Amino acid sequence: MARFLKSYQYGIAALQSVRVLETISARTTPPGSKLLLSRCSTNVLSFEQRALQEKGRKTKHLSKEEAKFEKLRALEEMVTDPDIKKEIEAYYEGRRRLAIMMGCDPETFTEQDVNNAIRYLLPSGLYAKDARPFLKHPLEYYPKKNTQSVDADGRPFEAGFFTGFPAYHNLVYEVLEHTRQLDELYTARKSTDKGSDKSGTTSSNPNLSRWLQHNQMQDLLKEKITEQQYKSIIERLDRLAAHPLAGTIQTFLDRYRRVVVVLQSRKKMEQLDDSGLVHTTGYRKSAVANVTVSRGDGKFDINGLSLLEAFPLIQSREQILYPFVVVDGLGLFDVKATVEGGGKSGQAGALRHGISLALTAFGENYYEVFEKANLLIRDSRRRERKKPGQRRARKKFTWVKR
């Protein structure tokens, strides 16, 4: 009988709420809201109809949101924080009032109904979804606290607990402590003249390992850090690894390093033919240059023209001669080339690419020098296309008020 009276009261309150909402939003109701009200109005049922509905609901497969909500409800028993408990009580009270406002039964009000009700009552045109109004369970919204970092009385074990970045500050302190200990050890060894140039243990080759990347460092610390904090950590670790006695703390340093897999060298150095010539092909934009390089006195034959006749602009000539400048080989090689397609800028880039590839056959260390100067890779930059409604790629038409 008590449950029937409670259901009857819910039904009367829901009908009144629906009528008020329909009166207020008669002119501003979006197209889908009438369907929402009519759907929620069907929840105002008799006791027998609600019992049948609840029975069918138990056998129905739970949606993803409902399963998530049931999981959160199961975790409520493990909550010990009084503030979170108050938030949970406020959440259920707000959920109950929201169901009554929408004319629905609070006992059968699902997470989907909550989202639809908020979307209807508080329409928002904000682009960012996380900036729109919402109603979520406190265990889902509030960040989880690390219970292992505090004792039974709630006092933190770590000194940097209240800084917001305890793991970051602990790591910085640990690096500074190691640096101080190594300085003291180095001073003691130097004063006694015992093994001043020994590191205790052999340090790993830094060329075969690297420091953890930003996301990997966050995973290891189990804490989000800023880019500036990550750079600060790497700088401190670099200074620590450069210490003469860094080998004594190699285990600590290896925790923040990852071994780099050395792949087989992909060098493709050009070879001289029987005549002492090297034939290569260079590319830039739509220009293609077939280049032949040999030792000589610095002569150029480009489509039957000299360098000055083929490229009057000094910028183009500087680009073509740049590979010789890098290896200090001006006036030591002859170049004969045929260039097709593109303009003068593209042809100069194609020649530079082809000459760089050809010069790798004339010196053992030329390949590494050109590779560091990025002369062996085709320049993939191209002219940016014109945009519709604009004068050029970036330039806009002159704006006229009238």
User: What is the predicted pLDDT for the residue at 143?
Assistant: 62
Asked whether the predicted pLDDT for residue 21 surpasses 60, the reply is no
Instruction: Count the helices and strands in the chain (H runs, E runs).
Output: 15, 6
23 and 115 assigned to the same domain: yes
User: What is the predicted pLDDT for the residue at 289?
Assistant: 96
Query: Does this model's pTM top 0.75?
Result: no
9 and 125 assigned to the same domain: yes
Percent of the chain with pLDDT over 70: 76
Q: Tell me the pLDDT band of 29, cut-offs 50, 70 and 90.
A: very low
State residue 59 phi and psi, 5-degree precision. -85, -15
128-137, 214-223, 308-317, 364-373: range with lowest mean pLDDT: 128-137
CA distance linking residue 78 with residue 204, whole number of Å: 47
Q: Contact, 254 vs 203, CB < 8 A?
A: no
Average pLDDT over residues 96-114: 88
Q: Which domain holds residue 46?
A: 2-141
122 and 203 assigned to the same domain: no
Q: What is the dihedral of CA 380, 386, 391, 393, to 10 degrees?
A: -30
Asked whether the predicted pLDDT for residue 30 surpasses 90, the reply is no
120 and 41 assigned to the same domain: yes
CA distance linking residue 134 with residue 153, whole number of Å: 34
CA distance linking residue 3 with residue 25, whole number of Å: 32
**Rounded to 5, what percent of the chain is helix, strand, coil?**
50, 10, 40
Tokens 């360098």, residue?
A: 307
What the block records as the tokens of 311 is 């490229």
The type of residue at 243 is: H
**Which residues does residue 282 pair with via DSSP β-bridges, in sequence order?**
289
- Give the chain's mean pLDDT: 80
128 and 192 assigned to the same domain: no
Asked whether the predicted pLDDT for residue 8 surpasses 80, the reply is no
**Number of domains present in the structure of the chain:** 3
